[in-house]
Amino acid sequence: MDELDSALVQALQADGRRSNRDLARMLGVAPSTTLERVRSLRARNVIDGVHASVDLVALGRPVQAMITVRLRPQSRAIMHGFRDFVAALPETLNVYVTTGFEDLLVHVAVPSTDALQDFVLDSLTKRKEVSGVRTEVVFEHVRNHVIAPVRTPD
């Protein structure tokens, strides 16, 4: 990752819909250069997709929560099976496999606190491998959409 790659990554994180011409003009390089560099970033999986950011309130999911889940017995098959199960649920935004007392952290968005309770009781705790859950309601969620790559010395 050189300086131009880093600038392209940051620009596309801020607005993934920017045209190649706009990127070239903004960075002061030829459009063919930006096209080649963006293709290379995609080929190397530095850029692995372009996604729309949505307003969860507008989608009818104003309540967010972070739910920690403890699984027993511990095994790779159980961990991955539960991870895949919860990731496929429509309420789930993100799933993190973690270390420490809990095994997973699940970020969800639901219509109400009643729906959150239903999700925890009907979707999570009914599973035999779940030995415990802890739910924290999110009051506010701020996301940094632009993350600068770490540059290594040449």
Alpha helices in 55-132 (DSSP H): 76-87, 113-118
| Residue 9: its H or E element | helix 3-14
Distance, CA of 148 to CA of 154 (rounded, Å):
17
CB 34 within 8 A of CB 27: yes
Is the per-residue pLDDT at 151 higher than 90? no
3.40.640.10, 3.30.70.920, 3.30.429.10, 3.30.450.40: which CATH number matches 63-138? 3.30.70.920
What mean pLDDT is reported for the chain?
94
Among 55-59, 111-115, 140-144, name the one with the lowest average pLDDT. Answer: 140-144
Is the per-residue pLDDT at 154 higher than 70? no
pLDDT of residue 40: 96
pTM for this model (two decimals): 0.83
Q: What architecture (CATH level 2) is domain 3-43?
A: Orthogonal Bundle (1.10)
The residues spanned by each domain of the chain are 3-43, 63-138
Bridge partner residues of 97 (DSSP)? 104
What is the tens place of the pLDDT at every residue in 12-23? 998 999 999 999
CB 113 within 8 A of CB 136: no
